Chains A and B, each alone.
Chain A
Amino acid sequence: MSLLHIHDPLAAPRPIGIDLGTTNSLVAYVPLLGEATTLLDCDNDPLLPSVVCYRADGATVVGKEAKRLAQDFPQDTIVSVKRFMGRGADDPETKRLGPYRFATSDGPVVKFAVAGDRVVNPIEVSAEILRALKQKAEDELGELGGAVITVPAYFDDAQRQATKDAGRLAGLEVLRLLNEPTAAALAYGLGTKQNGTFAVYDLGGGTFDVTILVLDEGVFQVRSTGGDSQLGGDDMDRALAERFVRAMGFSQGAELPAGHVRIALDAARAVKHALTEQDVVDAEIEVPGSQPLLQRVTRDELDVLIKPLVERTGVACRRALRDAGLSAKDLDGVILVGGSTRVPLVRRYVAELFGREPLTSIDPDQVVAIGAAIQADLLAGQGKNDAVLLLDVLPLSLGIEAMGGVVEKILPRNTAIPASAAQVFTTYADNQTGFVLHVVQGEREMAEACRSLARFTLKGIPPMPAGMARLSVRFDVDADGILKVSAQEETTGIKQEVEVKPSYGLGDAEIERMLLDAYDHADNDVSLRALRQEQVEAERIILATVSAVASDAALLAAGEREAIDAALQALKQAAQGKDHRRIHDLIDQLDRICKPFAGRRMDRSIARALSGRSLHDVERETSHARGIEPHLRPGAES
């Protein structure tokens, strides 16, 4: 039973904090008087299951009702959509994550085909959850003054952008994205200290995360993160449910009716919850078509069942500490987040692991939302304590791919955001009139090992000798950790406006259009661009190969010409088609076949260079001989 509060029609719009969770989502706010609090539903429950069900009649159901429908309509009910956020359709992880019908599209975004002939993507599904929370908040608070949405500390740019897009699609003014562990620390008021080191242990329904957070001069920094994306309270339920299923008379590995599994899981969850407060629970489980099953479960028995699961969290915790270069005794506090941290064994284990009692006074389900509400309140300028200026850091380095596929880091990881930095690059080849910029994220040295965020081309540079052009590449990361890249050629003053967005995220203009026609154009644009890039690449490599074969036929080994011709023919045909992946594969194939031939040509070029030719000519010739694209190289002054 939620109680009523006096609404002030003259009050300023109220900012809210949202914990957009994998299993459950919550919304909280800071009242004019009193502490931050979560908003409850009709059943006095702050948790809104992060489940969206699309009905055949076109209706969309969110929350508990959707969770019930999930059993009967598993393919039309999207659960744990957060796992799909910012993930590419070709990501091998994607298809393992659920029983869904993935819509075929050659765009990079995952899409679900659901009832009512609808196709939705993870941003739209998340937006439905956010919309339900927004409605709940508006009912209670009236006009809303923006929202802070929390994201896991390990979320990359694409995932953050996707979350922000979902917020905007739901009609929320997203004040900022906030790291979940940082939110938990804020809820405990740790932001008012100046310095400290904290571990945030977050064991939810289906995921485990641990974060080492350092508060340095009032600024929170994520020092390290770790976890297990497939470990949580649901696994504990399954462990206990297995025992019930066996007690129902089903042997291990037997084919089970889905209804029995559901009953056993529900019973397991209820017993687990009861064992938080009690030492022994007697459960009477209704079994369809037979006698009710009586089961007595003691807490010790539960502990034995779940111990292996709990111990798995220890591995990630120790690794996170090691990554942060810390040991448990360096910590100033341990914060528990997530409903599963109510389990007494988990609390004992955490206390033992870190050698101190964890902070538990705030409901672990609500602590992140409460922290987000406090942050929203601060950002909206209503906070009682506006001394806390909260910053986060970049979780991974951001850079661009330079000549030879190496990464030039422009913003190193752990840079406090918002941040910006610029670096100057120059041309590699004479008369190079364009740059291909490849923006990547990660710590590896080679671009191919990093996460590709964006690719774009800067064109229209007048022909000039190699090394003369000066291309200034500028990275700006805003307070939400979202990246903008701009490029400008300095010597000529050519200023080209270039729009860059994370690979799976979307720009402002597209958000607008998305609101009108549900994304389809944006996807086409992206796939079209991928196709064009491959077609251009194919054209270039075909020309280079044909001219190399024509001029240096003498260097071809026996049978080599036939192989090259066959590969050329296949590539030419594919380049007329629309499958950019196939074109790409065939370019690779041609490249492989030509490699020995290109090597011989290069050897000869070098021999020629030794007989008194200019280095420039050699360089140009060798690069053409290998059919590679003149790329970027860092300027000497950068």
Chain B
Amino acid sequence: MSLTQHMSLTQSLGRKSENPSDHLPVAPANAVDENAGVRLTKKAIEMAKQALVKRATPEAALRLGVRGGGCSGVSYAIEFSDKVRERDNLYDFDGLKVVVDPKSLVYLRGAVLDYEVKLMQHGFRFLNPNEKSGCGCGESFTV
């Protein structure tokens, strides 16, 4: 069954002061090979820093990883991390500490973490070249 729309009421909702360059990946200061590590967009860095400040732990790190479970295969996890473990990969994005454990890095190699503001919600989103199929909710994927 299909519906033809005679009148489209969807108006493009002008996003206020959204700068496209905010969503380009930024390489970490302790530069690694572009495709070897994880990158964040400017917007994601800014929002993560804000969240750390609001949590009153600006020195803590942001931990990116994957976990088993979710609708399809493994799912993404973003956490505050108060300590860096021995074998963690540590990145510095403009003062924001980001850690990824070695096992998760296998899935996140070359991935970019962005922050999106949509009409109904806002939050982080991974753009991951390793993702073969997502579940549609952006939370889990298969490689």
**Which residues of A line the B interface, CB within 8 A?**
1-10, 32-33, 37, 40-44, 139, 263, 266-267, 270-271, 274, 277-286
Contacts and interface: CB of A to CB of B under 8 A. Distances in A.
Interface residues of B, number: 37
B4 to A, nearest CB: 4
Interface stretch (B20-28, B31-39, B103-111, B134-142): B134-142
Interface in B109-143: 116, 118, 121-126, 135-139
24 contacts: A2-B138, A3-B116, A3-B125, A4-B123, A4-B126, A5-B123, A6-B48, A6-B62, A6-B79, A7-B78, A8-B79, A8-B80, A9-B79, A9-B81, A10-B80, A42-B71, A139-B70, A139-B139, A280-B7, A281-B3, A281-B4, A282-B6, A283-B2, A284-B4
A635 B137 CA distance: 66
Interface of B: 1-7, 9, 48, 51, 54-55, 62, 69-71, 75-82, 116, 118, 121-126, 135-139
A413 B122 CA distance: 45
A283 B3 CA distance: 5
A279 B6 contact: yes
| Interface-centre pick from A9, A42, A278, A285 (highest chain B CB count, 10 A) | A42
Contacts of A281: 3-6
Contacts, number: 99
A267 B81 CA distance: 50
Given A5-B123, A6-B62, A7-B79, A33 B54 contact: yes
Contacts of B139: 2, 4, 139
B137 A42 contact: yes
Contacts of B51: 6, 33
Nearest to B123: A3
A46 to B, nearest CB: 10
Contacts of A6: 48, 51, 62, 78-80, 124
A154 B15 CA distance: 44
Contacts of B124: 3-6
Given A42-B137, A43-B136, A10 B2 contact: no
The 3 closest A-B pairs by CB, nearest first: A3-B123, A42-B137, A4-B124
B121 A3 contact: yes
Given A2-B139, A9-B80, A280-B6, 20 more contacts: A1-B136, A1-B137, A4-B123, A4-B124, A4-B125, A8-B55, A8-B80, A10-B82, A42-B71, A44-B136, A266-B1, A271-B3, A278-B5, A278-B7, A278-B9, A279-B6, A281-B4, A283-B2, A285-B1, A286-B1
A158 B78 CA distance: 43
A282 B5 CA distance: 7
A277 B9 contact: yes
Nearest to A6: B78
Given A1-B125, A5-B123, A9-B79, A282 B3 contact: yes
A416 to B, nearest CB: 37
B121 A37 contact: yes
Contacts of A280: 6-7
A2 B80 contact: no
Contacts of B80: 6-10
B138 A4 contact: yes
Given A43-B136, A278-B5, A279-B6, A7 B54 contact: no
Nearest to B9: A277
A447 B51 CA distance: 60
Contact of B5 (A2, A41, A274): A274
B6 to A, nearest CB: 5
B121 A267 contact: no
A37 to B, nearest CB: 7
Contacts of B79: 6-9
A270 B1 contact: yes
A41 B136 CA distance: 9
